[in-house]
Amino acid sequence: MAQSSFSHIIIGGGTAGCVLAARLSEAPGTNVLLLEAGGRDWHPYIHMPVGFSKTTGSNLTWGYHTEPQVHAGNRRIPYAQGRVLGGGSSINAEVFTRGVPQDYDRWANDEGCPGWSFADVQPYFLRSEGNRSLADAWHGTDGPLGVSNVANPLPLTRAFIMACQQYGIPFNHDFNGPRQPGTGCYQLNVVDGRRCSAAKGYLDPARGRSNLTVLTGAHSQKLIVNGHKVSGVEYVRKGLAEAAYADVEVILTAGAIGSPKLLMLSGIGPANHLRDIGIEVRADVAQVGSNLSDHVNIDLVAELHDHGGLDKYKKPQWAAWAGLQYLINRTGPAASNVVEGGMFWYSGEDRSIPDLQFHFLPGAGAEDGVGNVSKGRSGITLNCYGLRPKARGAVRLSSGDPKAAPRIDPNFFGHPDDLATTVAGLKLCGEIIAQPALAEHVRRIVLPDDSLTTDAELSDFVRHHGRTSYHPVGTCRMGSDHNAVVDTELKLNGFDGIRVCDSSIFPSLIGSNTNAPTAMVAEKAADIILGREPICAVSTTSSGSTHRSKPTQVEL
């Protein structure tokens, strides 16, 4: 078995892995290895914003499905997870949102994660963000993750935003600013008509460094563990077994599915489960793989009178025209991320912050597993999900074979409040579609059938059509209690030489898409790993000016 040695080994080349590879290799004296099971981010669909609609069911993912969902029609639901350099940031819809301050204050104050309040993490959001359109206390302009406004929203997107306002929901030009509720166009991780993934923004500028080695097609098998010290990883590349050793640390960034999988393959996890699989137990860490939380999504699909959306570009002649436009000047329908418009709103009057998020797509059948319109017709899709689900699921191994897919059970609608919130969101979708600005385009509602009117009927529809929003978190939960998988410095409890630094450490879901928060975690982790002082917090005064202050030091 070939062996090599590095100061830091990063396992998983998704958003967090790319951020950490770039940040750690900036530091003198480091020698960093980044391992990614998938391939290079070469595919043109990755870099073309509209390509999102082609990637969620492609070989750029692991091809996972959930376990039969007991509370969701016993269905095995497609569960796209990126298997390519850049991970989710290379295949997602490029939507740039990060939640509200209350999400992170909940982590710090209610969920045992001091040092992770909004005041603590906001500087890392700002450091990661390279906004081309907004520059104030809420936005960074020099970061590697490029952010821009939708350059030229499609007419149907404009109609959706108008319909929301006709219903009474205010326009919001910035979902990441002082107020989240409202409707508008999302900001995107798109620069000059091209996706700005973590691989593009962070890793590409670092690729020429002599102290950074990036290996794709490297499938990690298990961690190398000696007692309570993790010293490296065994992996297979090009059919050959290899091992890499870390002089300082192994950093696990394989995501909410991959990180707990590798820990369990290495004998670190729920003891009874590992014994059942036939894996020697090194440490009984019951919460590894538990606490899985994800946004469960429901779609309303409508058929249009005309071909005003993106569906007409499925025809070869129109696809060729769109490709030519994009090739010449990176404009036209291929420059659309498909999910241009959206909304954050409330499922009831008693909510203090939005608990529903909506995405509008000027097309139908754009994502894997979503219903379509009649052949030859065009459509639109409006989807929504509850932002802070109460149900929790788990990731478990199906066997001790590293090549075997894990058992993924997000337990969709496992709490009755999650179903009620989603039904409320679906009703609101119907109200928005019925407003004049959109109603004039709509020929008929395809899903749900208009005969479904009662809460019981709509609940049944939601259970049988709900799907993932690609936001799994929490399976290596961070906290201060003895059950937490990692501590607030992201060290694996009970072990030396290893941290987990990705979305699996979220103690709970935040109220938005999860790519920007994952980049934030990795930015903060880089400073922790390198022993740097935390960045000064940024505050906004009532006048809108800013000041910076030293974060309060918390004894852990």
Residue 391, in any domain of the structure: no
pLDDT at site 548? 37
- The residues pairing with 84 across neighbouring beta strands, listed in sequence order, are 39
Residue 317, in any domain of the structure: yes
pLDDT at site 335? 84
Residue 544, in any domain of the structure: no
Question: CA-CA distance, 112 to 54, in Å (whole number)?
Answer: 40
Residue 373, in any domain of the structure: yes
pLDDT at site 545? 35
Which residue of the set 43, 139, 273, 471 is catalytic? Answer: 471
Determine if the peptide bond prior to 448 is cis (ω within 30°).
Answer: yes
- Which distant-in-sequence residues (6+ apart) come within 8 Å of 395 by Cβ? 256, 257, 260, 261, 289, 292, 406, 407, 408, 409, 475
- Tens digits of per-residue pLDDT, 151-166? 889 999 999 999 999 9
**Among 486, 517, 410, 502, which residue's Cα sits nearest to residue 64?**
410
**548: exposed, middle or buried (C-beta count within 10 Å: 0-12, 13-18, 19+)?**
exposed
pLDDT at site 538? 64
DSSP character at residue 523:
H
Domain count, the chain: 1
Low-confidence ranges of the chain (pLDDT < 70): 366-371, 374, 538-556
pLDDT at site 556? 23
CATH number at residue 453: 3.30.410.40
Q: Tell me the three state secondary structure of residue 44.
A: helix
What residue numbers bound the domain in which 442 lies? Answer: 151-185+296-386+413-465
Residue 103, in any domain of the structure: no
DSSP character at residue 186:
P
359: annotated active-site residue? no
Residue 136, in any domain of the structure: no
Provide the whole-model pTM.
Answer: 0.94
- Tens digits of per-residue pLDDT, 221-262? 999 999 999 999 999 999 999 999 999 999 999 999 999 999
Residue 316, in any domain of the structure: yes
Neighbour count for residue 489 (Cβ, 10 Å): 13
pLDDT at site 554? 28
Residue 343, in any domain of the structure: yes
pLDDT at site 540? 52
pLDDT at site 546? 38
